[in-house]
Structures are given as C-alpha cells and as structure tokens.
Amino acid sequence: MAQSLAAYVSAGLGAALAVSIGVSHRQLCALISFAAGTLLSVTLFHILPEAKENGLSVASLGFALASGYGLFFLISRYVFHVCPACAASHFEHQSESKFKNIFFLLAIALTIHSIMDGMAIALSPHMSQGAADPSLFFTVAIHKIPEGLALCALLMKSSFSRTKALLGTLAFELSTLLGWTIGHGMIGLEMSVSWLNLVMVHIAGGFVYLAFHAAINEIRDHSPRFILSFFLLGLLFMALVR
C-alpha cells in the first residue's frame, strides 16, 4: 500500500508544480519523454524477462502484451486520450469550451489508466523469484509526476481555479489506489503465478502504448533529437535499476 500511496503523492507533486511555479511546455515534454522511456524499459528489461522466467510461453507473452496495447489503443481511439501527459501537445491546441465538453470522457480514460498503474504496483512484488524489484514502482512514480502536472494544467485551462484543479487531479488519481486494491484482491484469491504474470504483461502492453504514443506525439511538434535524448535517458536509467 505504501508504494501506491507514494505514486499517488507523485501525481500530487506534479499537480502542485502546475499550480505553484508551473513549467514550460518544453520542460514538460522532457519529463514526458523521460517517463515514456522508463515505461518501455521496465517492460523490456524487467516485466517480460521475469514473466518468461516464471514459465510463460512466447505466444502467451505476445498475446497478453498485444491485448494490453490494444485496450489502450481502443480507449484512446474511441473514448479519449488515455494519458493527458502523453497527449500534452494535442491538448495545447484545444479551446476552453472543448475541454468542458470532453471532461467526462477524460475521467473514464484516465480512471482505467490509473487503475492499471495501481494493479501493477500491487502485483509487482509477486512477479520476482529473487529479491523484490523496485523498477516497476519507480517507473509508475516517475510517470505520475508529468501526468499530474499535465492533468492539473489541463483542468486550469478548462477554467478550473488553481485550488479546484489541484483537488480535481487528486480526485482523479485516487483510482490508482483503487487499482492497488484490485491487484491486492487478486493476490488474495490465490491466483496462480502464471495468471498473475499474464495480467502484469497485459498491463505492460499498456505501458508500451503509452511510451510510443508519448514519444510520437511530442516528436510531431518538437525537435526529434530533444525528445529522443530524454526518451533514451529514461530507457537507460530504468534498465540499470535493480
């Protein structure tokens, strides 16, 4: 529970930055790109190898990964962007009235996203055969900072006061704690390690979607070298975490 609370606090920290000092869009893009790199890295160097060691076949890994990627793709395509930080450049060009019309859709998409984050934190300690691997927690906590920042900035742009935007962000992010509760409940049901690994790889498919979605969206509006530098830095950083 402590790790899910820490991730929740990370989102709150991002929101607090938005209402206090703020950050430039270029600085936000750097944070987003670094976080995107960590999401891809934790999938490639931690989640998938551990699931393979725990007995999942390549076919099972591929199916679970594709299903998670596909879920986030469908939500972003037919409901709303599943991550406000990953689509920050897109939101920058929207009008205030447009934001008000899409508020409910944002709530649905972000709630699903945050539930997955919380579930990942809950399940992660049960994936490692050796010592507990902190990489998943660090990845989610890092990702939550630009997420909270972008969400709070989005709410302020839609005419919320600074206080209401901060409280709104904290309310949205409570679904991370709900996700942890769901994940903890799955462990309590004594599901097999194979099923828990399948769920984790499914969530990792969402991480892959977020990573590429963030990088591609930012590269469209900013220097590819700038975006890729921070993306690769995040990827390398999380690859070294043990």
pLDDT, position 182: 95
The token pair at 42 is: 């934790």
In this structure, is the dihedral angle defined by the CA atoms of residues 71, 54, 139 and 227, taken in order, positive or negative? negative
C-alpha–C-alpha distance, residues 124 and 241, integer Å: 14
* Residue 24 forms part of a structural domain: no
List per-block mean pLDDT (blocks of 10 residues) for the chain, which spans 242 residues.
91 92 82 94 94 91 97 90 65 56 79 94 78 82 92 84 93 94 88 88 96 84 87 93 74
pLDDT value at position 107?
83
**What is the spatial distance between Cα 54 and Cα 132, in angstroms, rounded to a whole number?**
15
In a domain, 25, yes or no: no
Neighbours of 97 (CB within 10 A): 9
Model pLDDT, residue 194: 86
pTM of the prediction?
0.90
First to last CA, the chain: 21
Instruction: Report d(CA 21, CA 149) in Å as an integer.
Output: 11
- Domain membership of residue 172 (yes or no) is yes
- Compute CA distances 51 → 79, 93, 100, 179, 211, whole Å: 31, 41, 42, 20, 20
Q: What CA–CA distance (Å, rounded) separates 105 from 81? A: 9
Tell me the residue range of the domain where 106 lies.
2-19+30-240
pLDDT at 125: 83
Domain for residue 148, yes or no?
yes
The one-letter amino acid code at 15 reads A
By C-alpha distance, which of 78, 213, 224, 92 is closest to 143?
Answer: 213
Residue 88 confidence (pLDDT) = 54
The number of domains in the chain is 1
What per-residue confidence (pLDDT) applies to 223?
Answer: 82
Going by C-alpha positions, the residue among 154, 184, 232 that lies closest to residue 1 is: 184
